[in-house]
Structure 1
Amino acid sequence: MEVRRTTVRDMRRSNRSVILTCIYREGPLSRQELTVRTSLSAASVSNLVAELIAEGVVEEAGSVESEGGRPRVLLRVAQEFRYVAGAEVGETRVRVELFDLAMNVLARADHPISSPTPAEVVKHVLEGLSSVVAASGVRTERILGLGVAVSGVVEDNAVVDAQTLGWDAVPLAAMLAEGTEIPVHVDNGANMLGQAEMWFGAGRGATDAVVALVGSGVGSALVAGGSSYRGARSSAGEWGHMTIEYGGRRCRCGALGCLEAYVGAEGVLDRYRLAGGSADGDEEAAFVEVLEAASSGVEPAATVVSDTIGYLAAGFANLVNLVNPERIVLGGWAGLLLGEQYLDELRAEVGKHALRRPYEQVSIVLCELGRDAVALGAATLPVVRLLRDGGAVR
């Protein structure tokens, strides 16, 4: 086997990547702070920062007083150096957003969908991309890439298998690439929520965490040792399809007893209707209606919601026992609605099912970035490429 030797150019690019990633994830930072955090020499930091500033990737962002010396100049990634787009493919809606590198939203487009077929999804993602580009006035060549978050297992950042949607080896990235010159990246929606929360939200500072997405369906992102854990073929984190009841309710994936069949919004509403309840409107409006009835003690809503918290707690307890996270972050639109009302009860119920010591070591919190964090997370996919390449634009 041929062994590739590391060249001086490789080392320089790697060091640029380390510096740029540190500035982006932890900045604004001074050159002195970069020297400490990256373990590079002061001369290397100074030279590479000078390159990044000259190329427009990094800019100065004010200064702070230092002890007994001159003020230290702070550095940040130049937010208008390039732009990134992110798309969330839901079961009833496609949302596309355009961001600068500070992840400020510049434009947004929403397209309702009645049937999330691959062709329909591609059509609406491309339409949304055209809309946000036109609304923002940003030139296409200045957009680093489009990140797309979807349900299911995504292999090689391109091919999607989503049993609940009936997708089998769909080459989504290639289908989208046929309609745009902007580079396309595809990943799982729960992983993108996790990346957003770990970078900018409730997961910051944690090295071992689970970010749980509860919406129509259920998924999770696993973080171990500060890095995303994907498993052998990128399917790790399908927590919604953990068996919670042997021989139980049939899940949308076809299996019996999956957690998703009990705590996903679709499953909750189905259990409510089977218990004799009636909820009108779209899925989210009906879910809110059930929660409001439950908070007033109205049956069968009160029992269904109480059981839902119990099932969700059991699912969290399994995570606590299995992966020993320091933090569990609950997100997704249905997860946030449940957590806003029942977080204390949920924490207490987890304690009834989890091993005592790992439970004492975990904190259970809500996502901080709101319901639209999936599109934000998707937009970080081209940012990851920029950081990895040390600011080089392909």
Structure 2
Amino acid sequence: MRERNGRTVHDLRRESRTAVLQRLYFDGPMSRFSLGPVTGLSSGSVSNVVAELVAEGLVEEAGSVDSAGGRPRTLLRVRQDSACMIGVDVGETRIRIELFDLGLTELARVEKPLTAGGPRREDRYDVNVVIGHVRDGIEEVIRTAGVDPGQLLGVGVGVPGIVARTPEDGAVVHGQTISWDAVPLERLLRESVPLPQSVPYFIDNGAKTLGQAEMWFGAGRGAGNAVVVLFGSGVGACVVSDDLRSGRAIEWGHLKVQVRGRRCRCGAQGCLEAYAGAEALLERWREAGGCPVAGADEESALTAILAAAYPPDPGARADATALAVLEETAEYLGAGFADLINLFQPERILVGGWAGLQLGARFLESVRAHATANALAYPSSLVRIELGTLGPDAVTVGAAILPLADFFAQGGRRTPEKAEENSPAWKASLRERAAQ
């Protein structure tokens, strides 16, 4: 049966289950009585939905609370052990694979360094190397935690680059900075990873997975919309709202800040990433006469430049070269933030990623000042620029949220129900004519 607004009874039932599950997940434990006002459902609908979810093992009782003059009210919560998810972060120096239960408790973790292919970025990101690490990591976390693969809601994967989708291959990754040209990542994973065919893959840009994590559980909570910025070797961003399914990754790092400027690792000139990414920042320090530690990885080298510019010993003198490079970087970032403010007018800009958290702790105030100076006054007056709160591993958490968000959207069903097809009479008539 189809309602006047085009939604079927099936749609309404799924939406009711989604509303109850989400409220119990984010605000529970809650009683049936409390669920009514926050979901907009009648008491009868709440009781029916809760009965279904309890019977399916998704919701359980969690004690009781006194009511105003009546019987105690039973509290309900989502069962943490009723399902699990895998989050994968295809990062810049390593691949991290984590297995979570429904409450996002980490059950197992594996890290695979991206160094075996050689020092060049293209070699480190060799598709066969990445697929092998993800396959081995998934097998290892499942074995370590001793979970049944059939319990998986899905595998979420955060990757660098643009993710498109085709009917034949599913998610296809266009990662220009890592020399991935239309890599059919979803198909390759399905062919390589020994998981049941019913387990879905959710592959998206790493900045988007970070954005989803911060909006659900971190510094974005309570905001209607935000831009979440991911700083690592390069930079990326995600425009996200409280409706996570409408969030989108943007290639902010390849916004032009200098005509005929520095060569970016994407091949173009003058990109923001060529000035503000950790890789470019360290290169600019070397060019200016700085002395990075020989053989140090990027994270250690970034720690070194920060220590040189802002010495921990109050009596020590700051390295003028390091300080000048970092101050110039803050100016570039402020200009880039101003573009985000003018384009999207977000309530918040949140800074995350391993480099973003290191840099932001030192010069976020300077970045704010440059952003305010370069942005339009009205949207600039409304935005808050803050550090993310979920730490450098938030991309993996966000990747695990991808199957969880889909699970909620499907009303807590692993396999979407087939909706009844009630076609208008004219469709049936025309099909009959075409068949004659």
| TM-score bucket (shorter structure) | over 0.9
Q: Which residue of 2 aligns with 1:284?
A: 299
1:150 equivalenced with 2:159 (yes/no): yes
- Could you say what secondary structure the match of 2:223 adopts? coil
Q: Which residue of 1 aligns with 2:107?
A: 106
Deviations 1:204-261 (A, max 9, x none): 111121010011111111024745555xxx6x51111111122211111111111111
Q: Which residue of 2 aligns with 1:80?
A: 81
1:245 equivalenced with 2:258 (yes/no): yes
1:163 equivalenced with 2:145 (yes/no): no
Picking from 222, 226, 231, the partner of 1:214 is 231
How far did residue 185 of structure 1 move? 1.7
Q: Which residue of 2 aligns with 1:343?
A: 364
Amino acid at match of 1:134: R
The alignment yields a C-alpha RMSD, in angstroms, of 1.9
Most deviating of 119-128 and 219-228: 219-228
Say how many residue pairs are matched: 388
State whether residues 328 and 365 of structure 1, in contact with CA within 8 Å, keep that contact through their aligned partners in structure 2: yes
Change (3 A) 1:228 1:138: closer
Change (3 A) 1:290 1:119: same
1:124 equivalenced with 2:133 (yes/no): yes
Q: Which residue of 2 aligns with 1:20?
A: 21
How far did residue 7 of structure 1 move? 4.1
State the structure with more CA Rg. Answer: 2
Amino acid at match of 1:150: V
Q: Which residue of 2 aligns with 1:298?
A: 319
- Could you say what secondary structure the match of 2:358 adopts? helix
Report the TM-score, using the length of structure 1 for normalisation.
0.94
> In structure 2, how many angstroms separate the alpha carbons of the residues matched to 1:58 and 1:145?
20
State whether residues 160 and 168 of structure 1, in contact with CA within 8 Å, keep that contact through their aligned partners in structure 2: yes
- Could you say what secondary structure the match of 1:300 adopts? helix
Most deviating of 325-334 and 276-285: 276-285
Amino acid at match of 1:23: L
Amino acid at match of 1:360: S
How far did residue 76 of structure 1 move? 2.0
1:376 equivalenced with 2:389 (yes/no): no
State whether residues 85 and 97 of structure 1, in contact with CA within 8 Å, keep that contact through their aligned partners in structure 2: yes
Q: How does 1:262-281 map to 2 (within 5 A)?
A: 262-280=275-293, 281=296
> In structure 1, how many angstroms separate the alpha carbons of the residues matched to 2:96 and 2:282?
24
> In structure 2, how many angstroms separate the alpha carbons of the residues matched to 1:338 and 1:218?
13
Percentage of matched positions with identical amino acids: 51
State whether residues 161 and 173 of structure 2, in contact with CA within 8 Å, keep that contact through their aligned partners in structure 1: yes
> In structure 1, how many angstroms separate the alpha carbons of the residues matched to 2:62 and 2:272?
47
How far did residue 198 of structure 1 move? 0.5
Q: Structure 1 regions of 5+ residues with no counterpart?
A: none
1:180 equivalenced with 2:194 (yes/no): yes
